[in-house]
Each structure stands twice: as structure tokens, then as C-alpha cells.
Amino acid sequence: MSEHKLKDGRTLILRDPTLSDAQEMIDYLKVVGGETDFLLADENGIEGLTLEGEQSWITGTLAAANTKMFVGTIDGEIVLVCDVRAAGRPRIAHVAGIAISIKRAYWHLGIGNIAMQAMINFAKSTGVLRSLSLEVREGNDRAIALYKRYGFVEVGRHKARINVRGTYYDEILMDLDLTKPA
């Protein structure tokens, strides 16, 4: 667990998720999915996700090698969920994907920077991970700028991969080489 002072003076607590967070995390996905078109979830969250399924996901994440999920809370409310998820197969075990979401009411407070630094620090600390990858929807300029600030570079695109209410967007693929000095 770590504490971080935000731009507005409040404190973000960054910690591991617990099984008791599962229902709030399900509800969180519905909230953040309804607040922006930049996530893969929408206002319905993740279709078919149950409390037991979320608890299983948390348990599996906590037990997985070179994988870490962070929950960020302000005054006890989950406002951030992000993770570093390593590949399970030996030939690609040195690669991990990252994901991040933040409740809209908490945008522009520096939470994205805190989350990115925590994920990168964790990845480097494993001694195994050599590369981080992510996918971001075209047009999500603030997120793309954040990723570039941390050294991510575009490595490709999936054309028209994301469909939001009948409009198709490219999915931009970005990588960070952890073996290069920052």
C-alpha cells in the first residue's frame, strides 16, 4: 500500500485488491464504462461478470507470477483500477499487458501518472518482464500523450477494431521496452 497526494490535496491510496472489493469493482466497471467511449466496457460493465467471477479474477491475479493489480481509493471509494498482466506461456513470459481506468470525477488530478509509474516500477522489479504493451482507441489523445511521456511507442494498429455505437475506430498498439534506460 502507498499513499499519494493529488493535485487537489486529497490522498490516493494505491493497494492490492481484496475479495471484499469484488462487488464495488463490478459496479466501478459499469460507472467508468458509462463515462467514456474509450474503454472496452460500457455502462453495462462486462457482460456476464458475476461476483464469483470477479472474486476468482482477483484471486488469480494475486497468485499469478509477474502480474499485479492496483486499486486506487480516495476516502474509501475505488476511483482507479489498473494492472500489469504477464503472459503465462514461457516463450512470451517476459511480456505483460497493462490496463488502466479512472472514474471521470477524478481525471486531471495526476492519478494516471501515479498508476503508470506504479505499473512500470512493478514490471521492472520482477527481473523477468522486458516489455509492456497496451492497446488504446484512436482519438484518446490524453491517454496517448500519457503513454508517450512514459516511453511507450506506437508499434501498429488494428484497423476499425473498436465499434462504439456504429462508428469504427482503430486500436493503436503501443509498447514500452523496459530494457532501455528511462
pLDDT tens digits, residue range 113-138? 999 999 999 999 999 999 999 999 99
**Euclidean distance between CA atoms 122 and 131, whole angstroms:** 12
**When comparing pLDDT for 44 and 144, which is higher?**
144
Q: Is 135 in contact with 172 (CB distance < 8 Å)? A: yes
**pLDDT band (50, 70, 90) for residue 3:** very high
pLDDT score at 53: 92
**When comparing pLDDT for 64 and 181, which is higher?**
64
Strands (E) across the chain are located at: 2-5, 11-15, 68-74, 77-86, 95-102, 131-137, 153-164, 167-177
pLDDT score at 73: 98
pLDDT score at 46: 83
Mean pLDDT of the chain: 95
Residue 41: pLDDT over 90: no
Other beta carbons within 10 Å of 58: 20
Give Rg (Cα) of the chain. 16
CB burial string 22-39: b at 16+ within 10 A, e below: bebbbebbbbbbebbebb
Residue 182: pLDDT over 80: no
Domain boundaries, the chain: 2-133
Cα distances from 1 to residues 4, 39, 59, in angstroms, run 10, 26, 18
**Euclidean distance between CA atoms 76 and 24, whole angstroms:** 11
CATH topology classification for 2-133: Aminopeptidase (3.40.630)
**Euclidean distance between CA atoms 180 and 53, whole angstroms:** 37
pTM of the predicted model over 0.85 = yes
Q: Is 134 in contact with 152 (CB distance < 8 Å)? A: yes
For the stretch 50-85, pLDDT in tens is: 999 999 999 999 999 999 999 999 999 999 999 999
